[in-house]
Amino acid sequence: MMMPVYDGFYFLEQYEKEFEKKYIPVIVMSAAGDTRSISKAFDYGIYDYFTKPLSSVQLMSFELKVKNALRMKNTMDQLRERNRIIENEMNLAAKLQRKFLPNEISNENFELKYYYRPYRELSGDYLDVIPLAGDKVLILIADVVGHGTASAMIGSMLKMHAIDFVESHPDFDLVDFVKNSNAELIRLGVEDTIVTACFFIYETKTGFLNYVVAGHPYPLVFDFDQDDVFSLENPGTLPLGLFDNIDVMPGEIRLKAGQTLAVYTDGILEAKDYDGEFFGLENIESTSKDFVEANDVFEYNRFITSLIGKLDSIQDDVTIVFFSIRK
């Protein structure tokens, strides 16, 4: 450790910067045997430390330490390679998951846009938009408890189930669909699988919105004509996956021209603001209210900038769907 110009600690400092992610074990042999020097060397992440001169027993120990260090490096190299493969597979899965997201819609009747932000590569949030017969559209948003691979797979299952159900039921009934989705989750038999969800059928001819809120945060309606924001509260339905049979409590509202329906997952509720506090329902409602009072129509980019700008830390998947009725 004691060298002219640059000592061993300088070398260890540079080594740590240069080879931080490569894990090359370093064994130090030095005449400096004081506690401070040894402790400082270990702070740089060395594998072991020997003081000179070495006894015969220490020489044998030194040889074993070198062999163990080489084994450790080989193990770490294998682990890094496996992690690299897993990371590549997760990134590919995330790309595929994004391809399953619905297209945003803008037509003469309504506009649908969404904000989608997985916490990790894969999201446990699911959303879909499926056309129905009779100028109707089915809108789904669900939040599988947890996040990651298992939650994403359950979300994919929900998507395929929804498509199959719509195709096999020309006379689509929202209550039957919710009950059938719950039964499908129960049939899977995956322990602790709980899904909160909102289901909507919008009739473009009449403007009526039929909906079911299953354990999910209540959607908000932005009314720019009245400078008001209100929630779609009803008796509510239990989350899916808890019980074999559930009572489904549907609701109905007629959306007016210029109104915007906002549906979000609880990741936004559990996000932290810059004071380290949960953002919560009150802040979502007040942010929405301030936006409605300051604007005549819904503007996606402006609202998202206003909302996300108040968040310091997001620790869950976040999805927000905006469904705006044309004037």
Average pLDDT, the chain: 89
The two tokens of residue 205 are 């001819």
Strands (DSSP E) contained in the chain are 27-30, 48-51, 105-106, 110-117, 125-132, 136-144, 195-203, 208-214, 220-223, 228-231, 250-254, 260-264, 272-273, 311-313, 318-325
Q: What is the pLDDT of residue 21?
A: 58
Q: What percent of the chain has pLDDT over 90?
A: 55
What is the structure's pLDDT at 298?
94
Q: Which residue blocks in 108-173 are alpha helix, DSSP H?
A: 149-168
Number of CB atoms found within 10 A of residue 105's CB: 15
What the block records as the tokens of 265 is: 């997952």
> pLDDT-derived band of residue 320, with 50, 70 and 90 as boundaries?
very high
Q: Which of 3-17, 58-72, 306-320 has the highest mean pLDDT?
A: 306-320
Tokens found for residue 277: 């506090």
Please say if the pLDDT value at position 45 is more than 60: yes
What pLDDT was estimated at residue 195? Answer: 94
Q: How much is the average pLDDT of 274-290?
A: 95
Q: What is the structure's pLDDT at 41?
A: 85
More confidently predicted of 86 and 200: 200
Top-confidence residue, 288 or 235: 288
Residue with tokens 């015969």: 56
- Residue 304: how many CB atoms within 10 A of its CB? 14
Look up residue 201 and give its amino acid: I
Residue written as tokens 């354990």? 215
- Using the predicted structure, report yes or no on whether residue 1 has a pLDDT greater than 60: no
Task: Report d(CA 237, CA 195) in Å as an integer.
Answer: 12
- For the cut 70, the answer to whether the pLDDT of residue 26 exceeds it is yes
> Once rounded to an integer, what is the mean pLDDT over residues 16-41?
79
> Amino acid identity of 247?
D
Distance CA 168, CA 164 (A): 6
Residue with tokens 């945003």, as numbered in its chain = 104
Query: Could you tell me which residues come within 8 angstroms of residue 294 by beta carbon, excluding any fewer than 6 positions away?
Result: none
Q: Give the model confidence (pLDDT) of 158-189 as tens digits.
A: 999 999 999 999 999 999 999 999 999 998 87
Which amino acid type is present at position 230? F
Give the whole-angstrom CA distance, residue 22 versus residue 13.
15
Residues in the chain: 327
Q: What are 186-239's pLDDT values in tens digits?
A: 988 777 789 999 999 999 999 999 999 999 999 999 999 999 999 998 777 999
Q: 270 in helix, strand or coil?
A: coil
Name the token pair of 77.
Answer: 């190299």
Each residue's pLDDT tens digit, 94-137: 888 788 888 999 999 999 999 999 888 888 899 999 999 989 99
When pLDDT is cut at 50, 70 and 90, the band that residue 20 belongs to is low
CATH numbers and ranges of domains, the chain: 8-93 (3.40.50.2300), 100-325 (3.60.40.10)
C-alpha to C-alpha distances, 73 to 24, 86, 173, nearest whole angstrom: 7, 20, 60
The whole-number pLDDT of residue 99 equals 83
Where do we find the tokens 């997952």?
Answer: 265
Look at strands 125-132 and 110-117 and give their pairing.
unpaired
Q: Cis (ω within 30 of 0) for the bond into 53?
A: yes
pLDDT at 147 over 70: no
**What are 122's strand-pairing partners?**
none
Instruction: Indicate the pLDDT class of residue 295, thresholds 50, 70 and 90.
Output: very high
The residue type found at 213 is V
* CA–CA dist 215, 141 (Å, integer): 12
> Which pLDDT does position 278 carry in this prediction?
95
Q: How confident is the model at residue 4 (pLDDT cuts 50, 70, 90)?
A: low
Whole-number Å distance between alpha carbons of 177 and 224: 32
* Structure confidence at residue 119 (pLDDT): 87
Res. 7: pLDDT tops 80: no
